[in-house]
Chain A
Amino acid sequence: MADHEAYSIVIAGVHRMLYKFEAKKGLKIAFLASLGDTELIQASARELGVLLKPKGGDYLVTSESGGIALAHALSVVLGIPYVVLRKSYKPYMGETLKSETLSIATGALQTLFLDEKDRALINDKKVIIVDDVISTGSTLRGMQLIMQKANAHIIAEAAILTEGDKEQWAHIVALGHLPVWIV
């Protein structure tokens, strides 16, 4: 770990050194380890909460697992519930909705499932999509697809950080942006 290059960033007043790793040959990214970082999640939820409050969403929607802690903390701040899109189907999820998208980074198929009970909750409701990092956009596309199938209206999309092509993510409510490094 000692010899990792790091990228220094301040998010919602919290300073972190993100270590850089080679995601694929010739491309380095900085990794935001948000799972377990309670200080960062709490600070980010407070700042995102202020930005998202005026949108008037009924539900937050996130995807397993990176967005879960943020969704919980933001749910506390905004006083609205959240729904988690799962990566695998469990029998107790009933009649789920499903989306399949291709990961731009790896080419692998990504599947997301919306639980039957959650389907009923968000039908015709205003939802805010949240994730820890929005990068290539493949997870975001999967979430958008399920919201469309579920007849939920996306009124905002938010993340702690966006990554990569900054212009592509101009509409995302975020607290910062990560570059990628071509080496």
Chain B
Amino acid sequence: MLRKGRLNMADREVYSITIAGVSRELPKFEIKKGVKIAILNILGDTELVEASARELGALLQPKGADYLVTPEAKSIPLAHALSVVMKIPYIVLRKSYKPYMGDALKSETLSITTGAPQTLFLDEKDRHDINGKKVINLDDVISTGSTLQGMRLIMQKANAHVVGEAAILTEGDRAQWTDIVALGHLPVWVE
């Protein structure tokens, strides 16, 4: 039985894509009335993450960055794998504040999709590490750009210099994302 607003595994539509030589069938999902997107979930997909990190690493190495920066939580495996490939550390922007994060920096942006406020925090120790350093903003998928905007804002506050922005895939308006280093692009389906 199909529950409203939820996926049904059996009769779900898929979008086929090959990323860094790895083929995947992404489930399509109606995100709002009349708009379908394909869902890439890299959590647990070790093969795809390792292949993507190798390809992105080759593209990003010439940028000479000191740190990778990524938001919690879905893109953490990619940041880790890319950190291994590029031999530079990564920093995770958290979605909630924890007491051990000290005097953290914060950004608030509005999600274009849901209208909900999104908050990102940069830990005090990480703040000190990236001050005056060259960083690459990294995410699994760059879609509406609201998370990217939050990352840019925090990097500016932290006095870090963004020398590149990268994702496994971009999504939506392809012309908007020409500066993003990515391995492919996802369409959205408007019915």
> Which A residues are closer than 8 A to B by beta carbons?
1, 21, 23, 31, 33, 35-38, 41-42, 64-65, 68-69, 71-73, 75-76, 81-84, 86, 91-95, 115-118, 120
CB within 8 A of A64: which of B73, B79, B81, B90? B73
Given the interface pairs A84-B43, A120-B9, the reply to whether A31 lies near B100 with Cβ below 8 Å is yes
Q: Is the CB of B6 within 8 A of A65?
A: no
In the complex, chain A residues whose CB is within 8 Å of the CB of B124 = 1
In the bound complex, what is the Cα–Cα distance between A33 and B89 (angstroms)?
A: 13
Q: Distance in Å from the Cβ of A130 to the closest Cβ of chain B?
A: 12
The contact of A68 among B43, B89, B91, by CB within 8 Å, is B43
Cα separation A136 to B104 with both chains bound (whole Å): 26
Chain B residues with CB under 8 A of A75: 44, 46
Q: Give the chain B neighbours of A83 by CB distance below 8 A.
A: 43-44
Kindly state whether residue B29 has any CB partner on chain A within 8 Å: yes
B residues in contact with A117, CB < 8 Å: 9
Beyond the given pairs A21-B99, A35-B76, 16 more chain A to chain B contacts, judged by CB atoms under 8 angstroms and listed by A's residue number, are A1-B125, A21-B100, A31-B100, A33-B125, A36-B79, A36-B89, A65-B72, A68-B76, A69-B76, A72-B76, A81-B44, A81-B46, A94-B7, A116-B7, A117-B9, A120-B9
A84→B44 contact, CB < 8 A: yes
Taking a contact as CB atoms under 8 Å apart, the answer to whether B46 and A1 are in contact is no
Does B57 have its Cβ within 8 Å of any Cβ on chain A? no
Report B52-92 residues with CB < 8 Å from chain A CB.
72-73, 76-77, 79-81, 83-84, 89-92
Count A/B pairs, Cβ under 8 Å. 91
B: number of interface residues (CB 8 Å): 39
A23–B46 contact, CB under 8 A? no
Residue among B44, B91, B123 facing the most chain A CB atoms (10 A cut-off): B44
Chain B contacts to A: CB under 8 angstroms: 3, 5-9, 27, 29, 31, 39, 41, 43-46, 49-50, 72-73, 76-77, 79-81, 83-84, 89-92, 94, 99-100, 102, 123-126, 128
Contact of A82 among B46, B79, B83 (CB under 8 A): B46
Query: Are B126 and A1 in contact, CB atoms less than 8 angstroms apart?
Result: no
A35 and B76 alpha carbons, distance in the complex (Å): 8
Flag if B73 contacts A68 (CB, 8 Å): yes
CA distance A31 to B9 in the complex (A): 40
Q: Are A91 and B125 in contact (CB under 8 A)?
A: no
* Complex interface: chain B residues within 8 A of A118 (CB): 44
Residues on A with C-beta less than 8 A from B92 are 35-36, 65
Q: Contacts A35-B76, A38-B84; is A72 near B46 (CB within 8 Å)?
A: yes
Q: B91's contact among A1, A31, A36, by CB below 8 Å, is which?
A: A36
Q: Once the chains are docked, how many angstroms separate the CA of A87 from the CA of B128?
A: 29
A109 CB to closest chain B CB, in angstroms?
A: 15
Cα distance, A81 to B44, chains bound together (Å): 6
The chain A residue with its CB closest to the CB of B5 is A91
- Report the nearest B residue to A70, measured CB to CB: B80
Q: Are A36 and B46 in contact (CB under 8 A)?
A: no
Q: Is the CB of B126 within 8 A of A36?
A: yes
Closest 9 pairs (CB-CB, A-B):
A72-B77, A94-B7, A69-B80, A65-B73, A38-B83, A75-B46, A84-B43, A68-B76, A92-B39
